[in-house]
Amino acid sequence: MPIQYKLHELMGKHRMNIQTVHEKTGLARSTISAIYYGNVTRIENDTLVKLCKLFDCQPSDIMEFIPDEPKDGE
């Protein structure tokens, strides 16, 4: 998958669990869990804004583009 989610790293650094992020952002626990475990195909803009405000970070601190390895002959 070309997008790697790093929410688990931020939560660990700030010593927060899913419940704490839920309480501080108002985001659904299922949404936070999905991002935490990388089981998402998209993130709503307002979700990203809430996480960035909570962790005082940029979107690139929450997710990262990982390009696919080039195949032989490309």
Residue 25 placed within a domain: yes
- Split into its structural domains, the chain has a count of 1
State the SS3 of the chain: CCEEECHHHHHHHCCCCHHHHHHHHCCCHHHHHHHHCCCCCCCCHHHHHHHHHHHCCCHHHHEEECCCCCCCCC
Residue 41 placed within a domain: yes
pTM, two decimal places: 0.87
Q: What is the pLDDT of residues 4-58, one digit of tens each?
A: 999 999 999 999 999 999 999 999 999 999 999 999 989 999 999 999 999 999 9
* Range of the structural domain that residue 30 is part of: 3-61
CATH of the domain at 11: 1.10.260.40
